[in-house]
Amino acid sequence: MKLRQWTLMAALGLCAATSAWAVDYKVGQIEIDDAWVRATAPGQPNGAGYMEIDNDAKTADRLVSVTSDAAERVELHTVQTENGVARMRHLPDGIPVPADGEVKLAPGGYHVMFLKLKQPFTEGAEVPATLKFEHAGEVAVKFKVMPIGHNAGHGMHMKH
């Protein structure tokens, strides 16, 4: 009986921890889930942010910009492979969000670049930012700072 109680308590604790990490934000028909950045190493000038964006609207939207006091400049980027070399590319027109669809910002793909950080991203902290969508408008979010190696392992060598 005690083993069954312990298993139930552990499962409930895991569910609570998982749902506490997934902070949701909403603006119009756009929902933002799991916004995170990696902690930065000493002297690292830039950081990247990731999230999932769901659009429940019947029309497409676009993430046009991100602003944050955590960096001198924030840009939207993607990763493109040319001649076997992955390179980050600035997306001045933003990131399209399909109607009744989603887009994932993840390592090796779309991401938010925080350029010239004003201070390092420290594990456990939060990085405030404002996302601006073409149609839905603006929403304030907080990127959770995860460990340096979080969700790594894509094996890509990128040149900025």
What's the mean pLDDT in 56-66?
97
Second-level CATH architecture of 25-146: Sandwich (2.60)
pLDDT tens across 68-110, in order?
999 999 999 999 988 989 899 999 999 999 999 999 999 999 9
Indicate if the alpha-carbon torsion angle 143, 147, 152, 156 is positive or negative: positive
Range in 30-44, 51-65, 141-155 with the lowest mean pLDDT: 141-155
**Domain-wise residue ranges, the chain:** 25-146
| Predicted model pTM | 0.79
Tokens encoding 67: 């602003």
